[in-house]
Amino acid sequence: MSARAEQKLRTRRALMDAALAQLSADRGFGSLSLREVAREAGIAPTSFYRHFSELDELGLALVDEGGVALRQLMRQARKRIARNGSAISTSVDTFMEYLGNNSNLFRLMLRESTGVSKPFRTAIKAEIDHFVTELAADLARIADEENRPLSDSKLVADAW
């Protein structure tokens, strides 16, 4: 990868990190301004447009990242359960670890799932659907392994 391409990726990451850093329990994505995010990332506001067409596009990239992080969380939990054996305590520990390391990303996904932006709601729903599908497959597998039939693993997973 060229030095220019690497710099572009670093700046894009800096913008995403800057947006996440400004989120809090009291401040949602909708209250961020492009100028604030650019300033926090250490770039000129006009340079923002080299990486994202608008602030919502940056937010959607964060939603995508959040979805990937949730699926990775599930995969980590599966490996830990295989080693430790306790599905419930391992799942809770893994989730709490995730929250500790990704609180603003999780907060973004949770808050914007009912927010005013339809593209955010749609993207978050798609990420949650991916998560539920993987969870349903896990539940069905566990039910089969334990010889305890589960008639609708998707319904059970969706209730999470």
Least confident of 31-40, 58-67, 127-136: 127-136
Q: What pLDDT, in 10s, does the model give residues 20-29?
A: 999 988 888 9
Q: Give the integer Cα–Cα distance in Å for 65 and 91.
A: 20
Range of the domain at 47: 3-158
Match 């947006």 to its residue by tokens.
Answer: 19
Q: What is the CATH number of the domain that holds 127?
A: 1.10.357.10
Domain count, the chain: 1
Q: pLDDT at residue 92 above 80?
A: no
Q: Give the integer Cα–Cα distance in Å for 10 and 119.
A: 25
pTM score, whole prediction? 0.79
Q: What pLDDT, in 10s, does the model give residues 36-87?
A: 999 999 999 999 999 999 999 999 999 999 888 888 887 887 777 777 766 6
- Helices first, then strands: H and E counts in the chain: 6, 0
Tokens linked to 80:
């830990």
Tokens linked to 50:
């080299």
Within a 13 Å sphere around the CA of 143, how many CA atoms are in the beta-carbon half?
A: 15
